[in-house]
Amino acid sequence: MVSIAGYVIADKEKDGMTMNEKADVIIIGGGIHGASLAFHLAQRGIRPLLLEKSFIASGATGRSSGLVRMHYDLEPESRLA
Query: Residue 50 is inside which H or E element, if any?
Result: strand 48-51
Q: What is the pTM of this model?
A: 0.57
Give pLDDT tens digits along the chain (81 positions).
444 445 555 555 555 556 677 899 999 999 889 999 999 999 999 999 999 888 888 887 777 776 666 665 667 766 765
Residue among 45, 51, 52 nearest 24 (CA): 45
Distance CA 66, CA 75 (A): 24
For residue 18, CA distances in Å to 34, 41, 50 come to 20, 21, 13
